Structures are given as C-alpha cells and as structure tokens.
Structure 1
Amino acid sequence: MPSTPPTTFKGWVSHSATTPLTFGSFEPKSFEPTDVDIEITHCGICGSDIHTISSGWGPTAYPCVVGHEIVGHLVRVGSGVSSIASPSRDLKVGDRVGVGAQSESCLKPDCEECTAGLEQYCSKTTGTYNSRHQNGDTSYGGYATHWRGPAWFVFKIPDSLPSAAAAPLLCGGITVYSPLLKNNAGPGKSVGIIGIGGLGHLGLQFARAMGCDRVTAISRTGSKRSDALDSLGADTFIATDEDKDWAKTHGGTLDLIVSTVSSANMPLSKYLRLLKMNGQFVQVGAPEDPFPSFQVWPLIQKNIKMGGSSIGSPNEIRLMLQLAADKKILPWVEERPMEDVNQAVGDMHAGKARYRYVLVNGVDGKVKL
C-alpha cells in the first residue's frame, strides 16, 4: 500500500546550470481541495529536462526539480476532487496514475482555450516544473519521491501499460500523438516522422497504429534504419546525409510531416519538398537556437501549411494512453535507478538512449525515502 505523504518532499534538485543535481528537501505547493499527492515510482527523462537544467531555453528559476513524465500511486486525494468536471473526479488513494508536462491551467469559463478543451494553450498554463501554480507557489517535477498538483492533469494508467513504458508517453508520446490526431493521420494519409529518437520512435508507432497508408522515417544517417523498418512500423527510411538526391526521389510523397528534431541546421527547404499538394509540416522539437531560414516557394506552389504543436490536452492524453494500451505501443526504455540520475541525464544528453531512460525509485516500485 502507498505510504502517507510527507509534508516536505525530497528529490534531486538542480541549483545551477553547471553543477550536478543533489538530493535534498523542497516545499511542494500548498495542498488545495482539488489536489492530489503521488508517491512516485517512475519518471522518464525528457529532453526538456536537459534544456531546463542547463538554462538552454532561458534562465531557469533555481532551485528546480525537473521531470514531467511521472508515474506512481496516489497517497492523498483532496476533498474537492470528486466534484471536478473531469474524468479525474474518480481518482482514489492507491490508483496508479501519471502526470505529464502540464500541471495546471486557469480553467476559467471565460478562457477560450480551457473551455474548448485546449488547456495546453491556456495563457496561464503551469508547467509541471520551473513554473508557477495559479496560487503563486512554485511547481516541482518528478525527479523526487513525491509530487503534488491539481487532479485535473492527473491520469489513470491503463492496467496493461507497464509503469516504465507509460512514463515517456506522458510527454514524449503525447507530443507526437497530438499533431497526428489533429491533422487526421489515418487511412489514406502518408506521414513522415523526422528524427528517430525519444519522440520519433513513438511517432512511427502511433502513425502505424492509426492506420496511415505509408509511414516514412527520416533521419540523418542509416544507423536506425533497421529499428525503424523492422520494429517501429516504418515503410520507408530516408537518411538525409547518405541517400543521394533524397528530396527529389521522395518528393511529393507525404501528406503530413511531424518534425521532432531540435536542430537549427535542419534542411528545412528539402523537407518541404517531400510534401504533396496541401501538405502540412508540424514542428514539435524546440531548438535552443533560431529556426533555420528556408525558401518559401514550396509553401506557395503547393499550398503547404507550416505550424507547431505543444504537448496535448488532458482529453488527448487519455485517448493516447488507451490507444497505446489497445495497440501495444510501448516506448523503448532503459530503467535507471533514481539515485543514478546525474549519470543518466549525462547519457541522455550524449545521445546514448535507445530511446528513452526512465528513472526508478527503489526496488519493485517501493520508494526509498
């Protein structure tokens, strides 16, 4: 059974961009009636964690506890949770649940985004870490023993999904699933996924599970060709640094491209040549440097649309988790002990993950305090 939550939480705290994370105490947000406490068993390592630890996207508000692919068990459920207008009202102590990259939005009736079920685009959204809750308290993430936050953004994990596999779905998975869903990926559509990493290897699996006619994996080299074609559901593989005239050979073959790479040097103009008339290019990777310049003629000549996508709504996360459970879409993960977090983060930054690291608290899911 889950333990009683402590009043002060413990976790691996980042104090600067250049020093290792250290284990220590921090004060979670004040508990409100619609909040829950989670005893964390697993937390995925996301590229966002590295950008935040290093202040790569801008100055981080240290001290900071990162981690927004959280899975664990509920140890406290607020008295007001049962009355909220969300499937999360059914949460109860002992449930296995998860939290992704967003932990709060305003949820006000005059907010167009929240009332439309697009909470991730609310102007007052709260990130699961390095952000501020609506009450002004600092948000802290999942490299820790416990997490506290609003139940609205907490999701039951389907029984058939192992905790280590469910964790990366809560950010990496929804980041690629949401643009596929919004842009009607499915029968009759040909989809390309740029970048075969933590996000891209899930994008390939979701595109295949959604019934797309053709799924194309796009990477710089052929090192992941076998993974993509033999195991992840791709029909075609393009190695942009190796395949001669790839943009011409595969030109006009894709209806939708989802780009997961975080590079300011991507051959964007050539990527756009891969799209058909009325094709769509959606960027989900967030580079620290400015987006590359490109020729606009493909946009004009083929009525191509470019856009971006940010994680996904609570409803989309529930749909994604159920699809993953039904279709057995499982991230490729390597479990690492939470106490080895600094080495694991370093390995992630060095590109060693194939394709996701998941931090585990203790043995058999029992948290070490």
Structure 2
Amino acid sequence: MATERFTGWVGKDASAADGNLVYEEFQPKKWEETDVDIEITHCGMCGSDLHTLSGGWHKPEYPYVVGHEIVGRAVRVGSKVSHVKVGDRVGVGAQSDSCGECDLCKSGNESYCDRFTQTYDGRHKNGDRSTGGYADNARVPGSFVINLNPYDKIPSEILAPMMCGGLTVFSPLKRYGAGPNKRVGIIGLGGLGHFGVMFARALGSAEVVLISRSRAKEADALKLGADRVIATKDEPDWATKHASSLDLIINTADSPNMPLTEYLGLLAPMGTLVQVGAPDGNMPGFNGFKLLAKNRNLTGTAIGSRLEIREMLQLANDTGVKTWANPFPMDKVNDAIKAFNRSEARYRIVLVNEKNAEAHL
C-alpha cells in the first residue's frame, strides 16, 4: 500500500522562521478509526510556530508543518468518533492527544498530562509525528477535535486564533477568578494581550488595565475594553504609583529582561501573576520580598483544556468577542511570516486556505 501524503507548507531549516516555507507533500500520521481528517479553511499564526521553526525553545526536528489554530471541515471521520460527522465545521487547538487515563486527564487538565501531544512538534501514541495546520489537510485524533457547529455566530477567521491564542489567556483568567470582584491587569498588547483584555472584560472583571511600555496602543486597548493603561516607559514612577492595585495579572510578555520585580509589586496582597509568555531563554530574576511581604503568588500556565475551549467559545458566541484578525491567503504564508516578524499582526494573522474556504461558501 502506497504511503499516504498530504500537502502543505513545510519548514526545512531555521530559515523557515524568516519566511522560507516550501509547499510540498508531507506524511500525516497513519489513519486510525479514532481519527478525523480535516480540510483546512483557516489557520491562525501563533508565536509558537516561529519559536518552533527557529529552534528558539529547543533543538529543532525538521521538517515541520506548524500551525495549531485550525478550523475546517471534517472530510473523513473514524468509526470510533461519535461527536463529529462528515461536513461539520471543526477546530483543533495546540493539543491533539493525551493518555486519557491519569488523574490530570480525568479532572479536565489533560493539557498537563505527561503524555500530552502537541498538534505539531509532537508524537502520537503510535509513534508518528504530529503535523499542523499550514496545510490543505490535517489528521488529528478525534477526541481532540472540537465540533464548532454550536458557535455559529463566530466566523472561521475570527474563531481560528481563539483555539490557541484566545485559550492561552482565557484559561488563567477563568482559573484564577477574573470577574466582578477582580481588578485584572494584562501585560502586553499583542496577539495574546488583545485576547486578554477582551476576555477579562467579557468575564465581567471589575477593572481591566493594560500594562504596556508606551501609550502607542492606548486607543486600541480602550476599544478592546480596557479601563486604563499603565505605560512603563512614559511613567517613570509607574511601579510606585500603581503599587498593590491589581488582584490578577496575566503576563503575555516573553522578554528575558522584563521588569518582573516591578510587575509583582503591582499586585495587591494575595494577588496572583500568571506567566503565559514563553521566552527563548530564562525568565529574569526578581526580588523575593515582592512575593513574601504581601503573600503574592507567581505561577504559569501553558494552554487550556477542551472544556475550557468550549467555555471560551460559548462566551465569545454569546458576548460578541471578536479577534482582531489580519487575514492572509495561505499561499502567501511566507509574506505573512515576514509581516509577523515586523510586528504587523495587529493582532492575529490568519491564513485563509482560499481553495478550501471557497468550496464551503
């Protein structure tokens, strides 16, 4: 039997992160009756894609097909999959498998399972490499395919970036109590940060504050739902002026030189800072008394669960939260990468696989 092949945009070396992907065939995982094949219409571009292509987080294992903000149509559904049928609009986020048996999986925390499988740059249970959404098709274990039919108010180009970017901030906001009694700070207004502001507001937070280096994006922050902006370069006394004023901070910044000590000082007693930005190098050091003296908490999260994906999408469906999407044709993916590297996403680039999208109009 001939080896089955899909087609997509393949990264062959570190130059791929500069916009040098190659369109060619690649091998998906071997078909199992627990799988779903997806004809991809949209795929968001995440910073993780470029960290992986460049080898910034670990030694790379080329070739790669990246992309874990996938939306499309189910075109083949295994006999052991019951929640999806051929023709359904479906989505996949950053995770595509886990053991399903450990306490973490059983408690809805499968993204922290030791056998967690990333949608790309991972290995499936059968040993095959996982491949992502910069492609015409994807093959994913059905248990991690989300049926998107219930969220019919959200267009696919708006929905795709929520599958990872939106979830990355929604999960800690929900887990750490963003809502009517919490003053929430979001550090950084980029792809993650713009979701952070919108979801903090949609969850009913008492106050939403953007923390940024300058006021260049202040108008955008206010449109997204922020109440005010702390500009760390424009306000020399920002750390003392705003000390102990926030209950929860989501930090999307990934610089190893961020002023972490000062960020911690913005927390009220017993407040929590959640790190979601992932630098290539180490996190900066900080003054331990910023934690000890006020019983503050410093933690981190990576990605959310399937339950949280559904909760997030339902909230977006009900409240009208919309990605600030910047669409590119998928065949212009290398131009999209270059725009991303120039910080021109404003705020999430979405690759539109036009031949597949047009087929479903």
- Please, what TM-score do these two structures have when normalized by structure 2? 0.96
1:301 and 2:301 are equivalent in the alignment: no
Tell me the equivalent position of 2:42: 42
User: 1:156 offset after TM fit, Å?
Assistant: 2.0
Q: Tell me what 2:10 maps to.
A: 13
Q: How does 1:107-122 map to 2 (within 5 A)?
A: 107-108=100-101, 111-122=102-113
Q: Does 1:164 align with 2:161?
A: no
Match for 1:112: what amino acid? Answer: D
* Residues 136 and 356, structure 2, Cα contact 8 Å, conserved in 1: no
Match status 1:146 vs 2:137: yes
- Give SS of 1:24's match: strand
CA RMSD of aligned residues (A): 1.3
SS of the counterpart of 1:302?
A: coil
SS at match of 2:239: helix
Displacement of 1:80 after TM fit? 0.4
Number of paired residues? Answer: 353
How far apart, in 2, do the equivalents of 1:30 and 1:107 lie? 20
**Aligned positions of 1:30-179 closer than 5 A:** 30-82=30-82, 90-108=83-101, 111-157=102-148, 158-179=151-172
- C-alpha contact 2:13 2:53 (8 A) present in aligned 1: yes
Give the percent of matched residue pairs that are identical in Structure 1 and Structure 2.
54
Measure, in 2, the Cα distance between the counterparts of 1:349 and 1:123: 32
Q: Deviations over 1:127-158 (max 9, x none)?
A: 00011001100000000000001111111221
Q: 3-state DSSP class of the match of 1:167?
A: helix
Whether the aligned pair in 1 keeps the contact of 2:39 and 2:356 (CA below 8 Å) is: no
3-state SS of paired residue (2:292): helix
CA distance in 1 between partners of 2:337 and 2:110 (Å): 29
Which ranges in structure 2 are unaligned for 5 or more consecutive residues? Answer: none
Q: CA deviation at 1:264?
A: 0.5
2:184 equivalent among 180, 184, 191: 191
Q: CA deviation at 1:321?
A: 0.7
Please list, as runs of the form range in 1=range in 2, the aligned pairs for 1:180-259 lying within 5 A after superposition.
180-229=173-222, 231-259=223-251
Deviation at 1:27, TM superposition (A): 1.0
Write out per-residue CA displacement over residues 101-138 of structure 1, whole angstroms, 9 at most, x where no aligned residue: 00111112xx1211111000000111000110011000
1:11 to 1:364, Cα distance in 2 relative to 1, 3 A: closer
Look up the match of 1:267: 259
Q: Structure 1 residues 364, 146: closer, same or farther in 2, change over 3 A? A: closer
Partner SS for 2:185: strand
Spell out, residue by residue over 1:15-56, the C-alpha distance to the aligned partner (whole angstroms, 9 max, x if none): 000251100001111111111000000000000000011011
Matched residue of 2:272: which SS?
strand
Unaligned stretches of 5+ residues in structure 1: 1-5, 83-89
